[in-house]
């Protein structure tokens, strides 16, 4: 039987640290969450490969290197409240639960949402809530949020989601323009939003964020 604690540490040593993910809090959180719990049974032995893993038709867990680099840029405060859009089977939600006070995982796919709830309960994660909702609408009802994370590449970021950040809030995502992906961070200052490019990243588009679904404001 595979010892996943060893492969998890190998992920940190061979995929994350060489690519500049060095924040000890982020690395500690990633070392404590068993990624293999959040992938289908047939893919458990592949859970720590550095590539996006399919968890349902058209849905993926973000590759570890991209995920680690994105969340390192957030610079979490322990009191932050995070909105995890497209939380899938709950992996990113579980990681955030190790870093902040409260996490809301938003998932529009009922099967994945049910899996996320089951997985998080199994790991006794008690500072999260998984809710139903359209990815490209976010969660206005429970906002504003200190941090918003988009769990896949997007071709646009709706204003309705950016407006769910509180003053000083940060949003991280991979923005895909003409098939070129860039990790970005958006910060809100009063009613102004500033965007900074971070690094190249090509990952699958998150459901609800292809430009052919139309812009949502």
Domains contained in the chain, number: 1
Whether the CB-CB separation of 164 and 138 falls below 8 Å is answered with yes
Q: What domain range is 74 assigned to?
A: 4-213
End-to-end CA distance of the chain: 49
pLDDT digits (tens, 9 = 90+) for 15-68: 999 999 999 999 999 999 999 999 999 889 999 998 999 999 999 999 999 999
pLDDT class for 125, splitting at 50, 70, 90? very high
Q: How far apart are CA 53 and CA 73, in angstroms?
A: 23
Residue 60: how many other CB atoms lie within 10 Å: 20
pLDDT digits (tens, 9 = 90+) for 106-119: 999 999 999 999 99
Nearest to 62, CA basis, from 98, 26, 38: 38
Which residues contact residue 162 at a Cβ distance below 8 angstroms, ignoring those fewer than 6 apart?
A: 171, 186, 188, 193
Which residues contact residue 14 at a Cβ distance below 8 angstroms, ignoring those fewer than 6 apart?
A: none
Which residue blocks in the chain are alpha helix, DSSP H?
A: 4-11, 24-32, 64-74, 91-97, 110-122, 159-162
Whether the CB-CB separation of 80 and 101 falls below 8 Å is answered with yes
**What CATH code is carried by the domain that includes residue 131?**
3.40.50.150
pLDDT class for 3, splitting at 50, 70, 90? confident
Q: How far apart are CA 108 and CA 92, in angstroms?
A: 15
């Amino acid at each position: 039987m595979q010892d996943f604690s060893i492969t998890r540490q190998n992920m940190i040593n061979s995929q994350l640290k060489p690519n500049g993910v060095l924040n000890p809090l982020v690395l500690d959180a990633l070392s404590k969450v068993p990624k293999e719990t959040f992938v289908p049974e047939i893919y458990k032995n592949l859970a720590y490969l550095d590539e996006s893993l399919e968890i349902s038709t058209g849905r993926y867990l973000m590759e570890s290197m991209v995920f680690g680099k994105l969340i390192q840029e957030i610079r979490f405060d322990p009191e932050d409240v995070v909105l995890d859009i497209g939380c899938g089977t709950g992996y990113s939600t579980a990681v955030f639960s190790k870093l902040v006070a409260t996490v809301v995982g938003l998932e529009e796919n009922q099967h994945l949402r049910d899996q996320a709830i089951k997985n998080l309960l199994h790991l006794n994660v008690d500072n999260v809530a998984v809710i139903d909702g359209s990815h490209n609408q976010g969660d206005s009802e429970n906002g504003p949020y200190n941090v918003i994370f988009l769990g896949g590449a997007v071709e646009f970021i709706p204003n309705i989601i950016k407006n769910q950040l509180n003053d000083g809030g940060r949003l991280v995502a991979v923005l895909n323009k003409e098939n070129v992906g860039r990790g970005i961070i958006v910060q809100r200052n009063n009613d102004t939003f500033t965007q900074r490019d971070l690094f190249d990243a090509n990952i699958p588009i998150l459901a609800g964020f292809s430009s052919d679904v139309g812009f949502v404001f």
